[in-house]
Amino acid sequence: TKKTETHTFQAETRQLLDIVIHSLYTDRDIFVRELVSNASDALEKLRHTQLTGESIYDEKLPLEVNISTDDTAGTITIQDYGIGMTHDELVENIGTIAKSGSKAFASALKEAKESGSDPLNLIGQFGVGFYSAFMVADEVRVYTHSYKEDGENLVWISDGMGEYRIEQTEDSQRRGSKIVVKLKEDAKEFAQKSKIEEIIKRYSSFVQFPINLNGDRVNTIEALWLKNKNEIKPEEYTEFYKFQANAFDEPRHTLHFSADAPLLINALLFSPKENIERFGFGRTEPGVSLYCKKVLIDDKPEGLLPEWLRFLRGVVDSADLPLNISRESMQDSALVQKLNKILTGRFLKHLATEADKNPDAYTEFYDQFGIYLKEGITTDFTHKDKLAKLLRYESSLSEPGKRTSLADYVSRMKEEQKEIYFLYAPSRDSIESGPYLEAFTARNLEVIFLYEPIDEFVMNHLNEFEGKKLVAADSADVSLEDTDSSPEHKLTEDEQKDLSKWLKETLGDKVTDVVVSKRLVDSPAAALNSDKMMTPSMRRIMKAMNQ
Ligand code: ADP
Ligand code: MG
């Protein structure tokens, strides 16, 4: 007997479907790419399972993707012999949204549009690929049979409106999944072989498995990362990045290298053009995939790179990895730590070179991704010093909008100057009109300007740079020499004492001390920070937390 069950989509899923269908309508082509990339993912997962020695249903089937178009029936079918899905996986993986949900997606989309970013970039990152089929479909059917020996023959059916149903099917199915897309009246072009061929050539040329279209092979399989650099055209890198990162922007940095000591590796790393965490998505997942001799071991390996490099995309292939390494044991394997060290070192070196040779391009990168470098300084002790060299700030000597490195600051320091000074405020204006800067300007001392609260944490974590202490210019223990522009004191010593005493009594608990100072030039008084551990922005944060 055949079992049918009907499910309703969660409200979140329904909204998301609605957004995907309507806001991305102009780029309907991409559903082909999304379904092919799911087929390829399913094959990668199967290949990995094979290596672990688990027994597999229909073991002998070839690892390939078969696409067929039928312009009489108005359908396109994408079929793979990958891992397939069990009943619960069908419900969980394609009946539900895995990530942060439709609200986050909708607001991210809005923001992306406002800032002129390509909204397409978001679908890939959001994992709503499968739903893109509903842009062109009246109905989508997913026939599937899990690789597990006790898998059932199942079909998932939906018109993408409010419900889906799952049925057991009688027809004997092969392992894997077959997605049948019944095309809408206005989307019949996707039942044309030539149209699909063109889309596959454009979007899916790096799929690591054969793709057959109506029985003909349409792709050549290439592991770009193993090829010689000299044989690769820039546009091939771009295409590969788009394919591998499921992205629509262009890579900002492309770093392709190989090494044979201490490990044999081939790596192809990209930094994206845009920082998508900016759109309020929450944390991006790590995106550098780990391969062993062209076989995918893990597409989001934890620990392959430090957390603060989670924005990197690409591929690392190491022939030294044991093929059957499990994802769990990999996380803390010494091999992965070695890879981490090599990759991080190479990328940092690449950034240092960029900053030196192409400062403008580096500034653009820094605007998007500087926040990650700062995160690195506060969380990753090993790379702190190299990261510190990559910081860029405005200063009292820089033009507005122009930034300096700490190294350049140090090179401008006068011999007597022992410390690097910084001031935090939300903007240049508020620093320049505040009472703290004048004392330094009057003494020709450069001050670094910090505009983000995290920058104070960064300075605290660094504590020093090239042996020079980093000191907040509003802290009480900065001692400055008298200058010619320090005004004569108009009050006698007794009057000074009385005024200080009166101020202290009046202000009470609000201050720890009131002192006469020659530090100020024009301002009558300034509050100085006596607590080295508690900077003003930390105080603001504590206050916000009601502490
Ligand atoms: P993503 O691929 O980013 O996870 P998708 O919306 O494209 O998001 O797919 C959702 C999930 O559905 C996949 O993660 C996978 O678990 C499952 N899935 C989709 N297509 C297939 C397929 N052909 N074979 C097996 N599982 C699939
Ligand atoms: Mg997908």
227-286 per-position pLDDT tens digit: 999 999 999 999 999 988 888 889 999 999 999 888 899 999 999 998 988 877 778 889
* Residue among 315, 124, 287 nearest 224 (CA): 315
Q: Is 75 helix (H, G, I), strand (E, B) or coil?
A: strand
Determine the number of helices (DSSP H) and then strands (DSSP E) in the chain: 17, 19
Q: Is 491 helix (H, G, I), strand (E, B) or coil?
A: coil
b/e per residue 465-503 (b: at least 16 CB within 10 A): beeeebbbbbebebebeeeeebeeeeeeeeeeeeeeeee
Query: Euclidean distance between the first and final Cα of the chain, in Å?
Result: 64
Q: Which of 94, 135, 179 to mutate to test the pocket of ligand 1 (most atoms within 8 A of CB)?
A: 94
Above 50 in pLDDT, residue 191? yes
CB atoms under 10 Å from CB of 31, counted, come to 28
**What whole-number distance in Å separates Cα of residue 60 and Cα of residue 65?**
15
- Whether residue 298 contacts residue 323, with contact meaning beta carbons closer than 8 Å, is answered with no
Query: How many angstroms separate the alpha carbon of residue 463 from the centre of ligand 2?
Result: 45
125 annotated as belonging to a binding site for a ligand: yes
**Strands, sheet with 394-395, edge to edge from the N-terminal-most edge strand:** 394-395, 447-450, 419-424, 468-472, 464-465
- Residue 82's pLDDT band (cuts 50, 70, 90): very high
- The residue whose CA is least distant from atom 1 of ligand 1 is 127
Contacts for 340 with CB less than 8 Å, ≥ 6 apart = 303, 304, 305, 306
- Residue 350's pLDDT band (cuts 50, 70, 90): very high
- The residue whose CA is least distant from atom 12 of ligand 1 is 93
Above 60 in pLDDT, residue 375? yes
Q: Is 7 helix (H, G, I), strand (E, B) or coil?
A: strand
* Residue among 154, 143, 150 nearest 179 (CA): 143
How open is the CA angle 501-502-505, to the nearest 5 degrees?
85
Higher pLDDT pick, 397 / 173: 397
Mean pLDDT score, 63-88: 96
Q: Is 78 helix (H, G, I), strand (E, B) or coil?
A: strand
Indicate yes or no: pTM above 0.80: no
Tell me the CA distances in angstroms from 339 to 243, 263, 321, one per residue in order: 23, 8, 10
ipTM over 0.95: yes
Query: How many angstroms separate the alpha carbon of residue 543 from the centre of ligand 1?
Result: 44
Q: Which of 130, 155, 178 to mutate to test the pocket of ligand 1 (most atoms within 8 A of CB)?
A: 130
DSSP letter (8 states) at residue 91? I
